Each structure stands twice: as structure tokens, then as C-alpha cells.
Chain A
Amino acid sequence: MGKKLLLEHINVPGIETLEVYRQKGGYASVEKALKTMTPNDVVEEVKKSGLRGRGGAGFPTGMKWSFLFKPEGVERYLVCNADESEPGTFKDRFLMEHIPHSLIEGMITSSFALGAKTSYIYIRGEYFYVARILEKAIDEAYAAGLLGKNILGTDFSHDCYVQVGGGAYICGEETALLESLEGKRGNPRIKPPFPAIAGLYGCPTVVNNVETIATVCPIINMGGEEYAKIGIGRSTGTKLISASGHINKPGVYEIELGLPVEEFIYSEEYCGGIINGNKLKAVVAGGSSVPVLPAHLILKTEKGEPRLMSYESLSEGGFVSGSLIGSGGFIVYDETTSIVKNLYTFARFYHHESCGQCSPCREGTGWMEKILHRIVEGHGKPSDIDLLWDIQRKIEGNTICPLGDAAAWPVAAAIRHFRAEFEEYINHPEKIKDVKHYYSVNAISA
């Protein structure tokens, strides 16, 4: 069994309640930080831990915290990004639903480190029921003196609120999230200024992912150096992976970073292998935005070394033969999958979710979807593949926020690794006409 830090007590009955959570050692990091450490000590421990943002970008959390601007007399905010919307990702929902106090505890400890008197958890609107679970947990924490005035009898006072969104993937981008939290359209802001200088209501703000904030608790409890011993190289600690697609055991798994991808897919402890004993075709390893990799490149790197579940190993080879760990949304496709049709669902997604502010993304995402739709329907033109390639290239890097890149990368990777399949769709539409390319719903669940 791999090391478990976040999900250690997942199977303990009643772990969603404050009582059981505290029996299992919950809120120790709040006790330790508020009573025995200075805010700066907490930041230092997080820096030492090597923790990298778990939302997708992988930026070192301690460094992000140390960038926070701290002028006298100006409010600072911690905002939790619980707008989990990246296709293939559902780990934050799992954590908040089952162990809500791990997030609340992390919010308090992190807010103490940052000197934030108020924090907000911005959760996607579709997770309304999870927002209720969090609100209940917050009420319990207030009642126990863990939130509100003079927490645990110390000088530190803190309020934490939950805010529900309205349904928009783009609000996972931190400045769009802040706009939305201010009651506006979720349009990403033009940077600079970065939130660390001018974020929520123009005040210095740190925005962190749910898992990142929850991970602060074990880091403070065990110490940053101890935490850094877990994992591999600069990929320290454990990570929640959302596994879905054609595997026997979809779900959320906590893995120690550095686990071989092959073991993750095939071992009984994790995904339990491919359904029906089928062959693996491809994997999207870190949520829909990251490049899809064919079986031979996800199991082994181009150099022939085993591919590991870590920031470095998954990106080994750049985009030519590698990918990214992203948000940890691990989608597995077996030999029956149509990469082209699957890409079409991604293109449709990004088109639907583009905010419309800047021209390359607003116009380009819709154009790519239309072309892919034509190809999937059997009306593709031979020039469409090169056209798709050119459109994605003109979106990538040229937009206000990373949604443009996120929409471009999957298209580029699918063409890079599965060009022949596109050609098949275009040159022999009759062959794919009646093929479903997906499992009938009862075929798996039965």
C-alpha cells in the first residue's frame, strides 16, 4: 500500500463529522500552527515541503505564498478554487464530499500563514450538494471555536465562507474565479497585475486548489522536510488521481508520486486493468487539456524508461512524446475508442466553455469543433487535418488565459499521435459510418 495522507481515514464511518475527524487527529495542524508557529514558519514549512499546486499548473505553493503583497492596513484574502471542471477530474469533489473538514482545516492553517482574516471557497455551482456539506462542516467548526473570533483562544480570528458558481469551466482560471466571486461574468483578467498584488476586490489574494490547501495540514503536522521525503525528486508527496474511462475500477486514488503508470493502470490496488481484458489504446493523463499519449508512450518514455506518475516523468519528452500530470484527471481509452470522436467531445467542450473575450479562443474553438464535427460525420476534407493543425497553432500562446492552450493541446496531440485515424475518417467514411466507438451503457455497468 502506498502512503496515504489525505485519504488515510476515508473508510472511517462518520469521518465527515467534526467529532470523528478530530478523533482521527483532525485540526492538529491548526493547533500546531496557531499555538507554536509564526505565520512565516508555516510558509517556510510549505516551501520546504516542495508542494506544487494540485490544480493543474504545478506551481510551487510556498513560492506563490511568498509572493503575496502585504501592505499595512490592506485586507488579504485566501480563495480556494473548488471550481473543479476539467474533464476527467473529480478528486476535489470526492475529498470535499467525504472529508470536508480536511479542506476547512487547511483553509484555517493557510489563512493563518497568509494573514487572511477572511477566506472564500468558490465551488462550482453543479456541486451544490457538496457546498451544503462544506457549509455544515463550517458551522461545526464555528461551534467548536475553530473559526470565528480568537480561534482556540489565540489572537487569530478568521471567517470562511462558501460561494457557489453558476456553471462555467473558465471560472477555474484564478482571475475569472475572482471576477465571478465579485458577482461578475467569469472573464479572465488581463495580467499583470497578478492576484498576489491585486486580486479579490483589488486586494492581495492567494488562490489555491482544494487538494493543495488540504495538503497543507499533513505538511504542518509532519514538517516540510519529512513531507519532501515522500514522492520522487521534485515531485514531492502524494497526489489524488481521478481515474476514469475503460478501467475496471474507476475512482479517486491517492498515490505516492513516482508510482509507475503501468502499475497504476493494471494493479488491483488502483485501476484494476482495462475492462474486458482489452488492450490499452491511449491515456489522457492530467485532464482533457493535456496531450493524449498512445499506449507505448504512456507506459514508457521515448527513451524506453518506465513512465512514472510524477510531474517530471509525465512531461519527459516535451509535447513530442510526453504530456503533463495536470490536475490528475487520468482517462484511459481501450482499443475500441475512436480518438477522433473523443477529440470532438473535447473540442465541443472548449467551444462551449470559451468566455468569448479574446478573438483566437472565441472564434478558433468554434471553428475546430465544426471541422471535427464534419470529420466525425464522414464529411471531412483531406485539407482538414492541416487546417486543424494550423488553427490550434494560432490559438496556442496567443490568448488572454490558458483556456486557449487547453483547447489547442488536445487537438495537436491527437493529430501528432493518431494522424492515420483522422485520414481513415476522411478517406473512408463508409467504414466508420455504423461504428459506435463507445460502450453501450449496459455493457459495462451490468
Chain B
Amino acid sequence: MKVTIDGQTIEVPEGTTILQAARMIVDNKEYAGDNIAPPTMCYYSKLKTSGGYCRSCLVKVNKGSEKDPRPMPKLVASCRTTVMDGMEVMNTTSPEVIEVRKGVVEFLLINHPLDCPICDQAGECHLQDLSYEHGLAKTRYDFKRRTFNLIDIGPYIKLHMTRCIMCFRCIKVADQLTDNRHQGMLFRGDVSEISTYISKAIDNDFSGNMIDVCPVGALTDRTWRFKSRVWFTKPMDAHRNCTKCAGKAHVWFKGDDILRVTGRKNKWREVEDWICNECRFEKKYVTDWVIEGPTHIDRHSVISANHYENLTSLKLDIAKQQKKLNKK
């Protein structure tokens, strides 16, 4: 099936969503320039039935298919819409999409506390990035923002509901990765909350993955909370022999100490393999891990600022430049 997104055409198998097709274009073509893949706050390819809620990936379909070329009357969620042969989609080339996306960002932010200076997620927060790339410079919301109390979900996870944007990813982790789901969505509308109702400990080997899937700082790792800003730590690819999971992780160093362990994330910031709670929360010694080397960090990320992988390449760049200059 052929689909064209912002003028880039790709052949994809039947059943592919617009979002997946857009990501394929980026993956295949080393596409330079504006990101052709719509932003996602709730979709997560490894979680079944995820997506459709946040509306930040809405795109315009200006040609439905070769057979039925009519445009779709409304913007569609690219994460939940499958492509038809000959479909033409507009993402960042549509002013309407850009305008609506601004609206979505504003809606997601009106009740968000904007407490980034004290939030562990700052620096790797999807909402920060989304606001920066697609939002308005200032808010028009001048009412009190909703707040919730902090909850400890067991010894390892802190729930900061005030920051939650209700992407449902953590509930899907609880549903799909663990046996007995204790945590879910309570109440409705803008007072909905993720909760266990009676603060039940989430006692399962894979519960920690809900921290990795959380796009904001609503679920944080209690063994890492307030230890460091993320951009002062250096991630390394590492592995260990684990009987419960694949044991492949990113370990985050500050000096010689491992401050936290997370799943390995790909360029779409989704984990490659789920990791178990033992690897995540209890293996914090260098001797626990076989270090493979520095993790590749996108140069746009604040984390790359003092990351030596980039410093190394920067040094090489400088060396190259100097050589060129010397030649002249």
C-alpha cells in the first residue's frame, strides 16, 4: 500500500497505521528536516490498544485512498487510523493540524503544575518537548489548577497525579505485563485519577515499567527521586544475566555511581525490552552490570549537553575542521 505523508511516499503493509508509516519514512530515509512523524503522548507501540486519547498526533487526510479520493471530514488520530492505498496525509504541512495541535498542547498544560524545576522527569519529559515544539509561548488559563496528593505505590514507585496527562499507558502496563492489576483509572472527566484506591502496593516483577512508559513525571522511581538532574548523569548501555528479563538496560552514572536503571529506549523513546524490578531497583553497583559503552543520545536532548559520546564526536569534528583549515 502506498501512502504519502507531507509529500514523502512509502510502501507499507496492510494494517499499518499512519503514524507507523510516518515513523517508517523517518527510519528508512534518514529523513532530514522537520520531523514527519506526528508527536505521541499516549500511543506506545509495545502496548496493545494504546493511543487515541491525547489527540496530539491528529493529522489531516486530504485524500482517503485511490479508490475513494475524498478527504476525511475531520482530523484523524494517526496512531489509530490505518492507511489505505493511495492515501495522502498532511502533518506539519497543514496549518489546520498545527493550529489544532497548539490547542491540544494548551489543553494538556492548563492543569499541569509546570513544576519542572523540581520534577525528576525534566530533561526527558515528552510534555516539555511537545510544548516547546508545538505549543504557545504563554498560557491563557488563569484559574486554579487541579491538585492531588502524592501517593506511594509500594516501596519503589511514587505517583504524582497532579502531573498526569492521562495517557493510560501505565494502566496498560499493569493490564498487559502483570497478573493482578491493582491500579486503574478512578472517577471521571477532569477529576479522573490513576490510583489504587486504597494505596495498595503494586507487587509485581514488572510494575517498574510503568515509570518508563510515563511521558511525564507522574510516576517516578523512588530509588532515584531527587538524586540528580538527569542531564548531570551519563547513560551507558549495559546488560546482566537475569532470570526474569532480558537484562538489557541503560544504567545512569554520576561519577562512578549508578543512580538509576531504566529500560533501553529507541529513537521513538519506547523501551526495547521490558526490564524486571530487580534489575531496575536493586542492581545499583557497577559490579552488577557488564557495561557495553555510552548510550547514543540525540543531540537535541539536554542530556547530550555534557555527554562524552557527543563530546568525543565534537572533538573529532573540531579536529576535522582544524585539518581542513590547516590544508588551506
Given A364-B107, A370-B143, A394-B107, also A358-B54 (CB < 8 A): yes
Complex interface residues of chain B between 8 and 51 (CB less than 8 A to chain A): 51
Is there contact, CB below 8 Å, between A359 and B54?
Answer: yes
Taking the nearest CB of chain A, how far is it from the CB of B79, in angstroms?
9
Given A190-B52, A363-B111, also A351-B190 (CB < 8 A): yes
Given A357-B53, A370-B143, A398-B58, also A362-B192 (CB < 8 A): yes
Q: Bound complex: CA of A357 vs CA of B190, how far in Å?
A: 9
Is there contact, CB below 8 Å, between B189 and A355?
Answer: yes
Is there contact, CB below 8 Å, between B189 and A398?
Answer: no
A–B pairs, 5, beta carbons within 8 Å: A190-B52, A355-B188, A357-B53, A365-B190, A398-B75
Q: Bound complex: CA of A353 vs CA of B190, how far in Å?
A: 10
Cβ of B108 under 8 Å from chain A: yes
Complex interface residues of chain A between 341 and 393 (CB less than 8 A to chain B): 351-360, 362-367, 370, 387
Given A185-B185, A363-B107, A397-B74, also A356-B190 (CB < 8 A): yes
Is there contact, CB below 8 Å, between B188 and A400?
Answer: no
The residue of chain A having its C-beta at the shortest distance from the C-beta of B49 within the complex is: A190
B158-191 contact mask (Cβ, 8 Å, vs A): 1 or 0: 0000000110100000000000000001011111
Is there contact, CB below 8 Å, between B55 and A362?
Answer: no
The residue of chain B having its C-beta at the shortest distance from the C-beta of A396 within the complex is: B74
Is there contact, CB below 8 Å, between A359 and B107?
Answer: yes
Which residues of the other chain, A, contact B134 by a CB distance below 8 angstroms? Answer: none
Is there contact, CB below 8 Å, between B140 and A387?
Answer: yes
Residue total for B at the interface (Cβ-Cβ under 8 A) = 32
The residue of chain A having its C-beta at the shortest distance from the C-beta of B104 within the complex is: A359
Complex interface residues of chain B between 87 and 145 (CB less than 8 A to chain A): 100, 103-104, 106-108, 110-111, 140-141, 143
Residues of B bordering A, CB below 8 Å: 51-56, 58, 74-75, 77, 80, 100, 103-104, 106-108, 110-111, 140-141, 143, 165-166, 168, 185, 187-192
Which residues of the other chain, B, contact A355 by a CB distance below 8 angstroms? Answer: 188-189
Taking the nearest CB of chain B, how far is it from the CB of A405, in angstroms?
10
Which residues of the other chain, A, contact B75 by a CB distance below 8 angstroms? Answer: 397-398
Given A355-B188, A394-B106, 10 more A-B residue pairs with CB atoms under 8 Å apart are A190-B77, A353-B189, A354-B190, A356-B189, A356-B190, A358-B53, A359-B54, A364-B107, A366-B190, A398-B100
Is there contact, CB below 8 Å, between A360 and B188?
Answer: no
Which residues of the other chain, B, contact A387 by a CB distance below 8 angstroms? Answer: 140
Q: Bound complex: CA of A190 vs CA of B54, how far in Å?
A: 12
Complex interface residues of chain A between 395 and 421 (CB less than 8 A to chain B): 397-400
Complex interface residues of chain A between 143 and 198 (CB less than 8 A to chain B): 168, 185, 190
Is there contact, CB below 8 Å, between A360 and B52?
Answer: no
Q: Bound complex: CA of A351 vs CA of B111, how far in Å?
A: 15
A363 in complex: contacting residue of B77, B110, B140, CB < 8 Å: B110
Is there contact, CB below 8 Å, between A400 and B165?
Answer: no
Which residues of the other chain, B, contact A352 by a CB distance below 8 angstroms? Answer: 189
The residue of chain A having its C-beta at the shortest distance from the C-beta of B184 within the complex is: A185
